[in-house]
Amino acid sequence: MKKMKEAYYFSHDANARHDPKILAMRSVYGMEGYGRYWVLVEFLREQTKYKLRKSKHLCNALAMQMQCTAEVAQNFLNDCINEFDLLVEDDEFIWSDSLLKRMNEKDKKSEKAKMAAKKRWNKANNDKGSMPSESKEDANAMQTHSEGNALKERKGKEKKVKESKVKENIKTTTTTTDENCFKNYQNEIGILSSSVSDDLNNWLDDFNNDHRIINLAIKIAVDRNKRNIGFIKLILKDWYSKNASTLEDCEALQKEFENKQHLYNKKRSNGTSGKPKIAPMTYTNKDESVSKEDLERIKKLAVEWDGERGIS
C-alpha cells in the first residue's frame, strides 16, 4: 500500500514542456525525447534516495523502459546530463535536482502528517478515561449514529415507504465519491471552517490522499441525516483503527457493520419497546450472530457513553 500512497505525491509538472532545458532537449529529440525524459524521472523516483546507481547494465535496463536500443539510451542519458543540464551525476549516481527538491518536500510533509496522526491516536488512548471534549463529541456522534440506525430497524415495514423516498432524495443530493472532499463537504454538510479543513487534511494524509474515502464517510452522514464533522470523524476513526487503507476496505467494513447491526437489532427486537437501544459500532466480528462477549462490550460502551442509563 505504501507505493500506492506515494504515487499520489508524484506528478509531472503541467508546464514542464515550456522549461528552457526541456525545450532544448525537445529541439533535438522531439516528443519522443520528452517521453524518454519522463521515463527517466519515473525511474529515478523509484530508486532509494531518488538516485540511480551507475552499473554495467544500466543502459540496457533504461533501453527496456524507453523501448529503444542500449546505444540510444546511453546517448540520450549523456545528453540529458552534459548538454541539457536536466540530470546530474557523480562517480556513483545519477539524479535530478528538481526531483530531489520535490521529493524532499513530499517526505517532510509525509513525516509531519505521520507524527500528527500518531500524536492524535496516542492522545485518544491516553485520554480515554477522562473523555475530553473532542472524544465526547465523537462519542455523542457514535451514539447518535447507532440510535438512529436502531430506530430505523425497529420500525420495520412501517418505515419502508419513507425509506424509499429518502433513498430517492439521497440519489439527487449526494455527490459522486471521486469529487474533491472539501467541495463535497461544503455542498453536503455546510460551511467549511478552518478546523474542519484541518481535520479533513489530516484524514486525507491518513488515507493516502484518497478523497473517495472521505466522501464515503460524508455520504453515510448524509444518508443518516447526521450532517456534522463529529459523526464523519467517528466513521473515519473506526475505519483507520481497523487498518482500512482503500475505498474497497472501507466499503467492506461499512457493509459488515450494517449486517452485524441488523443481526443485533433483530436479536433485541423480541419483546423490546420504548427507547431504541445502542447498537455496537464495530466491524470486526464476522460471525453470523452476536456473541455474549459482544453484548457485554456493548453494555460497557453504553455506560461510558450514556452515564447511568446503560442498556437494560
Picking from 69, 102, 135, the residue at the C-terminal end of a domain is: 102
Same domain assignment for residues 87 and 151: no
Q: Report which listed range, 68-82, 127-141, 191-205, 233-247, is most confident.
A: 68-82
Tens-place pLDDT, residues 70-109:
999 999 999 999 999 999 999 999 999 988 988 888 778 7
Does any domain span residue 117? no
Strand, helix or coil for residue 95: strand
CA 253/CA 270 separation, integer angstroms: 27
Q: Which of 215, 132, 217, 139 is nearest to 179 (CA)?
A: 215
CA 289/CA 112 separation, integer angstroms: 42
Tens-place pLDDT, residues 14-27:
456 678 999 999 99
Of 193 and 246, the structure prediction assigns the larger pLDDT to 246
For residue 53, give the H/E element and its range: strand 52-53
Range of the structural domain that residue 17 is part of: 2-102
Does any domain span residue 107? no
Predicted confidence at residue 156, as pLDDT, reads 52
Does any domain span residue 118? no
Same domain assignment for residues 131 and 273: yes
Query: What is the CATH classification number for the domain harbouring 97?
Result: 1.10.10
Same domain assignment for residues 66 and 172: no
Q: Report which listed range, 3-17, 82-96, 194-208, 267-281, is most confident.
A: 82-96
Q: Which of 87, 93, 82 is nearest to 36 (CA)?
A: 87
Q: Determine the angle formed by the axes of helices 211-223 and 181-188, rounding to 10 degrees.
A: 10
Same domain assignment for residues 205 and 291: yes
Same domain assignment for residues 158 and 250: yes
Same domain assignment for residues 73 and 145: no
Average confidence score pLDDT of the chain = 74
Same domain assignment for residues 289 and 205: yes
Same domain assignment for residues 45 and 135: no
Strand, helix or coil for residue 133: helix
Residue 75 has which C-alpha cell? 546517448
Total tally of structural domains belonging to the chain: 2
